[in-house]
Amino acid sequence: MGEICRKDCLARNMSKMIKCQPQEYGFIPKTWIFPAEYTQFQNYVKELRRKRKQKTFIVKPANGAMGHGISLIRNCEKLPAHEHYIVQEYLDKPFLMEGYKFDLRIYILVTSCDPLRIYLYDDGLVRMGTEKYHAPSEANLSQLYMHLTNYSVNKHNENFERDETADKGSKRSIGWFTEFLRANHHDVAKFWGDVSGTV
């Protein structure tokens, strides 16, 4: 479990999969594992500067959880070289729901590894940010209620909505989400097909 639950181990395993199957793993943002890949990251940032491009990066403690220690940065020279971090390109044009960022918690059950047997549960959890999303800028990099969807972070915001129903508040059901997709003319079958394809 450590190989998929620790951020550094997961990033290392995903990097191996990208090398083996680049088409299948194209959904993963560029990722660097510090301190081992600090120099490669700084070279990437220098190349961006040379091309007069600016990107935002999200920095996560390698063994962190519940949103603790996560930050967004643009001034990459300030990153310490010897800390154990995961640094990723921040996806700054997310699909929004009612103007908010969100993530999906979808559950699977693995009953066998050889042969591989996985069951996908058709419901789960939608976790929403608690501030309307705006693309990252120097002025809003520290506004984590906007940029992060972690429950542990957003529950402290005064805008966090606790609701016992599955279709309201800051935590909703995937069942509600699929209805949201359908109502907004998105292909629900494609959504579940894409989810199945990543499992």
Are 23 and 76 contacting, i.e. CB atoms less than 8 angstroms apart?
no
At residue 197, does pLDDT exceed 90? Answer: no
Please count the other Cβ atoms lying within 10 Å of the Cβ belonging to residue 164: 6
Phi and psi based region of residue 101 (left: phi greater than 0; alpha: psi -120 to 50; beta: remaining): beta
Q: Is 85 helix (H, G, I), strand (E, B) or coil?
A: strand
Please count the other Cβ atoms lying within 10 Å of the Cβ belonging to residue 33: 21
Residue in 46, 37, 17 with CA at minimum distance from that of residue 84: 37
Q: From CA 117, how far away is CA 196, in angstroms rounded?
A: 13
Q: Give tens-digit pLDDT for 27-76.
A: 889 999 999 999 999 999 999 999 999 899 999 988 777 777 899 999 88
Per domain, the residue ranges of the chain are: 2-89, 102-198
pLDDT of residue 80: 85
Q: Model pTM?
A: 0.83
| CATH number for the segment(s) 2-89 | 3.30.1490
Q: Give strand ranges (E) for the chain.
A: 31-33, 57-61, 71-73, 85-89, 102-113, 116-128, 171-173
Residue with the bigger pLDDT between 125 and 161: it is 125
Are 195 and 120 contacting, i.e. CB atoms less than 8 angstroms apart?
yes
Residue type, 48: L
pLDDT of residue 109: 93
Does the bond joining 61 to the residue before it have cis omega, within 30 degrees of 0?
A: no
pLDDT of residue 81: 86
| pLDDT over 70, % of the chain | 99
pLDDT of residue 134: 95
Residues, the chain: 199
